[in-house]
Amino acid sequence: MKMRLSGIQVKRILAGLVLSAGFYLPVLGETPSAEEMWRIIQEQQAEIERLRGLVEESRGETQVVRAETRETRAQVEATALAIEELSEESSGGSGGGWWERTSIGGYGELHANFFEDASNEIDFHRFVLFVNHEFNDWITLYTELEVEHSVAGEGKNGEVELEQAFVRMDFTDTFSLDAGLFLMPVGLLNEIHEPNTFYGVERNNIEARLIPTTWWEAGVKGNWRFENGLSIEAGITSGLDVDPSGVIRSGRQKVSEAINESAGYVARVKYTGVPGLELGASLFYQDDLAQSYVEEIEGLLSTAHVDYRKGGFRLRALYARWDLNGTTSSEAEEQHGYYIEPSYRWTVDDFYGDLGVYFRISDYEYFSGSLKENEIYEIGINYWPVEYVVFKADIQDISESDQYNSKGDIAYNLGVGYQF
């Protein structure tokens, strides 16, 4: 067993030796000879050397203990870091619980419509909830559940609809893949239609009757983004099931036990390389729009749009066109239309928010039992007390509209909407 001595202990021992040497001399009773003195000195010197060796050995062991302590401390820190990284990986990468990676949002809009020759209406048109969840830093689930017209059920006006439920995988900064049920990438409003993002109480009729917004299908879609502002989307999806006469809007199956005999192919290109400017064009093709009927209708939808902002000024315009080929009504073979909408928005003050005014001309024709030709002029105002709450009012000249044929010449509309 090795003995460890501190510096104080060594000093005490040496002092003891010196005192003991002085003690021996009187005991001897006589003065030692030179030879005896030399022997005593030699013995004391040997003892001193032995003690010095013990001191050096103790110092070496102390250094070893310190090194081992540092190594142990480093191992403990490395283990703690590994446990932390493992915990983050098992929980999806954010380090928190699932609730910290799940977000909830939504929007809603209430409309009141007043006609000269028809009953006035008020309708809570849409109540929508979003629930999104990040599985990790590159895989995300997006969902959207909507209640239309307040009450849903047999004999009721409303519906409960699942409008989005897809997984997005961001493989790189420039490429992602969507799989599931998603909104079709066509037009200006089909994907972004929260009430605070557009003018007019109701959505414009071009996108409602021709595109037909809101339009969703199930499938797979790739998204490519380039540094110059160009982006491309392309996918294969479920398709419409249009009756042989050629009424487009009623052909939406909403992915509810949908007929899936004829797939749809969709592609869109957008350019946003200039600040404030968005240019876009899209195509949708289906070789048989009447897939559950004996008749066959080949269909091609093409759209083009521009959205330009500079200061408070904004200009939106869209053109859409269906070309049908097959055993359908001749009046339905070409259905097309456009709208042009200049607007201006300004800030009243920091407390009261923003005001905006707009003008829109819409010219379109679509098939619904017969060809409906429309030319509508519209002016209105939006008031945003905060960015995500909007109050709306507009006046429409519907005197040249087959869509509103029996409702008079002028329509007045009021609305309120929100998003969170």
| CATH code of the domain in which 165 resides | 2.40.160.10
How many C-beta neighbours within 10 Å does residue 168 have?
Answer: 18
**Average pLDDT value for the chain:** 89
| pLDDT reading at 22 higher than 60 | no
Asked if residue 42 belongs to a domain, the reply is: no
Asked whether residue 334 carries a pLDDT value surpassing 60, the answer given is yes
- Residue 27 belongs to a domain: no
The model's confidence at residue 3, banded by pLDDT at 50, 70 and 90, is very low
| Residues forming beta bridges with residue 307, ordered by sequence position | 278, 316
353-367 and 334-349 strand pairing: antiparallel
Quick one: 376 exposed, middle or buried, by C-beta within 10 A (0-12, 13-18, 19+)? Answer: buried
Asked whether 10 and 51 are in contact (CB, 8 A), the reply is yes
Q: What is the mean pLDDT of residues 54-79?
A: 72
Report the pLDDT value the prediction gives residue 13, as an integer from 0 to 100: 52
Q: Which domain holds residue 404?
A: 98-419
Q: Is 134 helix (H, G, I), strand (E, B) or coil?
A: strand
Instruction: Find the angle CA(219)-CA(223)-CA(226) to the nearest 5 degrees.
Output: 170
Q: What is the pLDDT of residue 92?
A: 53
Residue located via tokens 């939808």: 301
Neighbouring residues of 376: CB distance < 8 A, sequence distance ≥ 6: 205, 360, 361, 362, 396, 397, 398, 400, 401
Q: How many domains does the chain have?
A: 1
Residue 49 lies in a domain: no
CA angle at 189 for the pair 188 and 193, rounded to the nearest 5°: 140
What sign does the dihedral 257-258-262-264 (CA atoms) show? negative
Kindly give the interhelix angle for 34-90 and 7-28, rounded to the nearest 10 degrees. Answer: 160
Rounded to whole angstroms, how far apart are CA atoms 386 and 193? 18
CB contact burial 397-415 (16+ within 10 A = b; e otherwise) = ebeebebbeebeeebbbbb
- The answer to whether residue 74 sits within a structural domain is no
Q: Which amino acid would we find at residue 406?
A: S
> Are the CB atoms for 264 and 286 separated by under 8 Å?
yes
Q: How far apart, in whole angstroms, are the C-alpha atoms of residue 229 and residue 233?
A: 13
Contact 93, 137 (CB under 8 A): yes
pLDDT at position 159, please?
93
More confident residue, 145 or 59: 145
> CA nearest 128: which of 188, 196, 178, 217?
196
Within a domain: 277? yes
Confidence of residue 188 (pLDDT cuts 50, 70, 90): very high
Contact of 204 with 193, CB cutoff 8 Å: no
Residue 55's pLDDT band, with cuts at 50, 70 and 90, is confident
Q: Reply yes or no on whether the pLDDT at 358 is more than 90.
A: yes
Amino acid at 397: D
Question: Does residue 54 sit within a domain?
Answer: no
β-bridge partners, 393: 381, 414
Q: Pick the more confident residue, 113 or 8.
A: 113
Write out pLDDT tens, residues 73-105: 777 777 667 766 665 665 555 557 889 999 999
Residue type, 13: I
Residue 117 lies in a domain: yes
